[in-house]
Structure 1
């Protein structure tokens, strides 16, 4: 799951403990989020920074929550076509598990994996939520090492 550290980073999640992963306005990313279940783990990926990469780990605690930002005209992610009676967007609640001592940068990820193993490395990929195959996830956890 990607987020720009200037908007919401791993340190924000560490401080808050839990967060709503809201503001998803891409149908494919939303649909990937809809496949998650409580107890699933997600890598926290800092995007649009130098260098981008995997910095932490989160756990899904709730899914299928209605994204409140879609109804707020003052919100960045307001959607005038969405209504409380027929919401178009949902979100998930995640909790902080840890920040890795060492980040794996996008360049390092591209050296280690191909796009079938880790879709986030596909050039031009803009989706903020992507699945990670279990075998790749286990390998990533081993490479990333302990939390700090």
Structure 2
């Protein structure tokens, strides 16, 4: 199993939207590196759901339920989507400020490549985020 983080502006599409739908495609990615990460996602992988913009916090865990396929929102066949479902909301959101202050998370791509919308997460980082959400 692999671990990922996806970023979205909650005003446009947030955790509540995914929960209302129950399952949705992660579309609109137009960055080659992020697209490559979507192509690497496998069914059953877990995804940290991050609200960007003003919120800047991890709010939930989603799961990949369908591997990459052509993005139906464009005719350009370079772009792909995956389908995800909400697994659980975090007990307490984990703000970016806390992530940056946590020593073992200093190498997270969220910090190192902050503009990327889809990124891998190490299992230890994933577990630490979950631990931070319970304090």
- TM-score higher than 0.5: yes
User: What does residue 25 of structure 2 align with?
Assistant: 20
Distance in 1 between residues matched to 2:118 and 2:68, nearest whole Å: 15
Q: TM-score, normalised by structure 1?
A: 0.82
Tell me which protein shows more strand as a share of its residues: 2
- State the shift of 1:135 in Å: 1.2
- State the shift of 1:35 in Å: 1.1
Query: Are 1:139 and 2:123 counterparts?
Result: no
- State the shift of 1:39 in Å: 0.1
CA RMSD of aligned residues (A): 1.5
Q: Decide whether the 8 Å contact of 2:62 with 2:87 is kept in 1.
A: yes
Distance in 1 between residues matched to 2:98 and 2:129, nearest whole Å: 11
Which has the larger displacement, 137-146 or 5-14? 137-146
- State the shift of 1:66 in Å: 1.0
Q: Decide whether the 8 Å contact of 1:14 with 1:98 is kept in 2.
A: no
Which structure has the greater CA radius of gyration?
A: 1
Q: TM-score, normalised by structure 2?
A: 0.89
- State the shift of 1:101 in Å: 2.4
- State the shift of 1:95 in Å: 0.3
User: What does residue 79 of structure 2 align with?
Assistant: 89
- State the shift of 1:145 in Å: 3.1
Query: Are 1:106 and 2:110 counterparts?
Result: no
Structure 1 segments unaligned to the other structure (5+ residues): 72-81
What SS class does the counterpart of residue 118 from structure 2 fall into?
Answer: coil
Q: Which runs of 4+ in 1 moved over 4 A?
A: none
Match of 2:119 among 130, 140, 143: 130
Q: Give the total of aligned pairs.
A: 128
